[in-house]
Amino acid sequence: MRYLITGTAGFIGFHLARRLLEAGHEVTGFDGMTPYYNLRLKAARHAALTQFPAFEPVIGMLEDRAQLARTLSRFTPDVIIHLAAQAGVRFSLENPKAYVDSNLIGSWNILELAREISVGHLMMASTSSVYGANPEVPFRESDGTDQPLSFYASTKKSMEVMAHSYAHLHRLPISAFRFFTVYGPWGRPDMALFKFVKAILEDREIEIYGQGQMSRDFTYIDDLIDGIVALSAVVPSEQHRIEVAGITDSLSRQAPYRVVNIGGGQPVALLDFVDTVEKVLGKPAKRKLLPMQNGDVPRTYASTDLLMALTGAMPSTTLEDGVTTFIQWYLDHRGELQL
């Protein structure tokens, strides 16, 4: 099959593209190579993908609809997987315009072009941050998400709402999937695991927010990719509904549209997470406990019932195994990538 993936120089997009290329599919990757973090890392991801003859990289911004259109005119995909976005809860306090440009305007451009080519399945990455401080756990796709705590989350929620309208108006099959704290090799330097490992190895303090009382549903990258690939084959249809825990799918009653959590389903207390990192590194951290930052949520916890019902895919990587694999990757690459 032919896939267009946005964000292939990013953490998740790189892993997804590599998985699909290894399976024999064709992939065109669209990425802006923005300097939000280490460009050497992004370039190395793309360089690894270009070893596959069936991969074509395109460098461009999501806001540039003309370039997106030119890309699609050369390569008409069966599936579009839209992963590119301006990420990060804290950075959205510093530069909210970047989130409007990428997550709203860029996502609208993807919706418009997907409509124009009548793509067979449009998949769009959302985030667990849309659940805000939801007191009910685990978070289910049917829970209310109208009170996001960060501007980042509000742009992702807005993307979901725009997508639903396009699915309804244009009968465009759309899946939105909500990620839960993804980690693993080739990960983002602004994520907790990357920052903690780097600081501990350099004998610096690690900053632990919320006085260490927060918890996160950590999801190993391979488990996430398993879920995305499996969902790509389960195209939303108003005629195909699945009963899950008394709830009929998360399909709209007005559109070929669904939302699916992809998470580990096993939240971990932040201090237990630090303990695991220390154990694998064989070195204690210098811990600095700080108040919770604006926009952060106290906990995340995914219900994976719908993912299991739709695909049979269930995250299986233990936290210790995932952390061990990341640390080995970090030690192997920190010099060449200047991590």
Question: Active-site residue numbers?
Answer: 152
CA gap 122, 304 in Å, rounded = 21
CA gap 147, 247 in Å, rounded = 22
Question: Do the beta carbons of residue 249 and residue 40 sit within 8 Å?
Answer: no
Alpha helix segments (H runs only) across the chain: 11-22, 39-49, 65-74, 91-94, 96-99, 107-117, 151-170, 192-201, 221-232, 270-281, 305-311, 319-333
Amino acid identity of 327? Answer: I
| Cβ-proximal residues to 63 (8 Å cutoff; 6+ apart), any chain | 101, 102, 105, 106, 109
Rounded to the nearest angstrom, the gap between the alpha carbon of residue 215 and the centroid of all alpha carbons in its chain is 18
CA gap 4, 84 in Å, rounded = 11
Nearest to 302 by CA among 256, 252, 267: 267
DSSP state of 129: G
| Cβ-proximal residues to 195 (8 Å cutoff; 6+ apart), any chain | 189, 206, 207
DSSP state of 41: H
Question: Do the beta carbons of residue 149 and residue 133 sit within 8 Å?
Answer: yes
Q: Buried (b) or exposed (e) across 40-71, using 16+ Cβ within 10 A?
A: ebbebbbeebeebeebbbbebbbbbbebbeeb
CA gap 31, 50 in Å, rounded = 14
- Report helix, strand or coil for 101: helix
Nearest to 180 by CA among 304, 275, 85: 304
